A and B are shown apart, each in its own frame.
Chain A
Amino acid sequence: MRVKRRNRLITVSFVFIGAAVAVGLMLMAANENLNLFYPPDKVVSGEAPTSTGIRAGGMVLAGSVQRNSENLDVRFVLTDYKGSDFEVVYTGILPDLFREGQGVLVQGQLGEDGVFQAASVLAKHDENYMPPELEGMGA
């Protein structure tokens, strides 16, 4: 009985470890493709494909947001604060959390001229929460 149980323990452990290794290798192989979006350096370096639907993300550069006074056109620059930035044009309503210095995700096409034509803009937010009166106090 004891031997039987030990054999089962070994078999079960092998099945589990084998499955874990297989999944691990698959994830490592697929690693790049599992990223939800291209960061600014990939967009600037040309690693992101042009003229096809992609997602790109970055921080909205302070002072870069230009709104058209007659329609909903808006232009802004996304940056990684490490020297890579690209321009985005978008027509539509921006999410409530869109603001300068905030992370956003744009879906659309990267033009040959390096300007991103966004079809939608999603706001990314971080895991820090605080009440309004504590803002800026680093709470």
Chain B
Amino acid sequence: MNLTELWHRMGSPRWFYQMSGPWGTGFATLAVVLLVVGTMWGLAFAPADYQQGNSFRIIYIHVPTAILAQSVYMMLGVAGFIFLVWRMKLADMLLQVMVPFGMGVTALALFSGAVWGRPTWGAWWVWGDPRILSMLLLLFLYFGLYALRAAIPRAEAAARACALLALVGLINIPIIKYSVEWWQTLHQGVTFTLTEKPKMPIQMWAPLLVNVIGIYCLFAANVIIRLRGEVLRRESGTAWVQEVVATHDQARRGHSGDSGAMA
């Protein structure tokens, strides 16, 4: 199979649906294991910080959610670009189903940051801090993407508008990332990257890495399961979806009482 062919196949909702059956549960299981291990490890076993004591442990929620808040938006921007240029239906579905999770982690990152700021800085919220403001703008972009789709009745027009907003909003991502370097902020510099030597010893850093990978798995599980549902909803008029539904019904009738046979 050459590359062009692979590209077209990846864009086929039917291909995705048939391939992705076991992926959702796989990622969900992995996510639960990693998040339980990482969170327990970080909250109970990792050492406290020499200055902040135990309030430092908020890092195990704050950093993974903040990283994902930005990653999800980058994926939205890429999906928007692909939809605008190639009109790939699956890219638009992806754009739709990724928004709620991104909104959730962004809100959680802002909330955990406020809870952390109170004991360490002495303030829940500092208006004017560039990092805080650019993250708040990111949350509003997620709200906007969600509202825009609901506000435009014609699906095709809604898809184009959302794709454009997702793409243009991408400009905010480098602003979030470099806000702590370009301007004087109260927020500290970059703590966690895969490319540089960590700013903390391994016993603090390892549980953080576990949680970051865990939340990516949770995101993957959420998106795959929701995308499968969205594929069935949008393609409900096609023969292959009706076939899937018919097989499903048949299997359920055959195993009546045997719950979860086709789950």
Contact = CB atoms under 8 A, between A and B. Distances in A.
Interface of A: 5, 8-9, 12, 15-16, 19-20, 23, 27, 31, 34-37, 39, 55, 57, 94-97, 105, 120-135, 139
B104 interface: no
A56 B171 CA distance: 29
22 contacts: A12-B85, A15-B164, A15-B168, A23-B175, A34-B182, A35-B184, A36-B129, A55-B128, A97-B51, A105-B121, A105-B186, A120-B122, A122-B123, A125-B52, A125-B121, A127-B188, A129-B52, A129-B204, A131-B47, A131-B48, A132-B47, A134-B50
Given A34-B130, A96-B120, A130 B200 contact: yes
Interface of B: 47-52, 56, 59, 81, 84-86, 119-123, 126, 128-130, 164, 167-168, 170-171, 175, 182-186, 188-191, 199-201, 203-204
A121 B121 CA distance: 8
Interface of B is mostly: loop
Contacts of B191: 127, 129
B126 A127 contact: no
Given A19-B171, A96-B52, 16 more contacts: A5-B86, A9-B85, A12-B85, A15-B167, A19-B168, A31-B182, A36-B186, A97-B51, A105-B186, A120-B123, A125-B51, A126-B189, A129-B200, A131-B204, A132-B49, A135-B50
Contacts of B126: 36, 122
A7 B128 CA distance: 41
Sorted from nearest, which 3 A-B pairs have the closest CB atoms? A95-B122, A131-B47, A129-B200
